[in-house]
Amino acid sequence: MALIPASDSDTLPLITEVNMSGSPDPSSGTVRATVIQASTIFYDTPATLDKAERLVAEAASFGSQLVVFPEAFIGGYPRGSTFGVTVGIRSAKGTEDFRKYHAAAIDEPGPEVNRLAAIAGKYKVFLVMGVIERAGYTLYCTVLFFDPLGRYLGKHRKLMPTAMERVIWGFGDGSTIPVYETPIGKIGALICWENRMPLLRTALYGKGVEIYCAPTADAREVWQSSMTHIALEGGCFVLSANQFCRRKDYPPPPEYEFAGVGGEPSAEAVVCAGGSVIMSPSGAVLAGPNYEGEALISADLDLGEIVRAKFAFDVVGHYSRPEVLSLTVQDNPQHAVFFTSAAKRENEQKS
């Protein structure tokens, strides 16, 4: 695994002294962050969890305090798969492909979430992990958050799957758009093309996000433009993690088949080229983008850069015009079925 170093120094303390001590100047701290660029072991969730632990251990050995994984790292991004779907038709093989994909997903709560929490605690890192979450028979593209004490903080479900993703993933709602206040800064995440939704970004800005995580499956160079814009717009650090995959990282045909232009690629063909990157609030590239292979991409984040950037442009502060423009976020959970017992109704009527 290649390491792109954060700086010439070998290590940093787990959490900067200034932030842990309650300093009146929290912007004077430095945080070492790592984005992981690596492939899922497709259809093998236990092996992928083992790989994740190895990568976290490696990042922690270089002093990383925050580790961000790509979209759908646990459970897999089913690149090139059609699941046998055309308008009005689902093939038998496609529905079986979905069954196997469903089996590789994880439950929340569940043993895999417990394992990830234990990994975060063991290596004393904040961990942001892209997973495929199984909720009954519906799957969600989700990001899970963990702290260095081994605690599961919560999740963000992808609000808007893109194109064919809508065939296999459900839609998140406004109840899972968290920003967590931590000793190393306020951490939040949006997934892949959600980051192109201005109002959703504004919801994160409104919660004060400082370390903006953007797990993705988009390896195109144009993605870098979005990451630069978000860093400038939000006055925040942007950490984008993508997988680097070759065809051989997926099961061979006919078990797994790639569709699309050009047909089935060769085993060595790159099917996702990465492009993971870390941006500063000024729009400067701190590390990456990397298109060469699997890598740990690290940078030291000077938290003072946030304040300096906000002095010029605070999108939800002095640069907002709430009397002209405003955003209302429906952050209550949306459920298909509600059950109300007769006793509860009676009590409500009495009150």
Active-site residue numbers? Answer: 71
What DSSP element (H or E) covers 256?
none
Query: What value, to the nearest 5°, has the Cα angle with vertex 189 and ends 188 and 192?
Result: 165
Q: Residue 81: exposed, middle, or buried by beta-carbon count in 10 A (0-12, 13-18, 19+)?
A: buried
Residue 295 and residue 297: Cα distance in Å, rounded?
6
Cα(196)–Cα(165) distance, rounded to whole angstroms? 16
- Strand boundaries in 260-314, DSSP class E: 270-273, 276-279, 285-290, 295-302
What string of DSSP letters covers 5-27?
Answer: -SSSSS---SS-HHHHTT-S-GG
DSSP state of 28: G
CB atoms within 10 A of CB 318: 10
Tell me the C-alpha distance between 139 and 198, whole Å: 25
CA of 349: how far to CAs of 340, 341, 342, 343, 346, in Å? Answer: 13, 12, 11, 10, 5
Residue 112: CA count within 13 A, CB half-sphere = 24
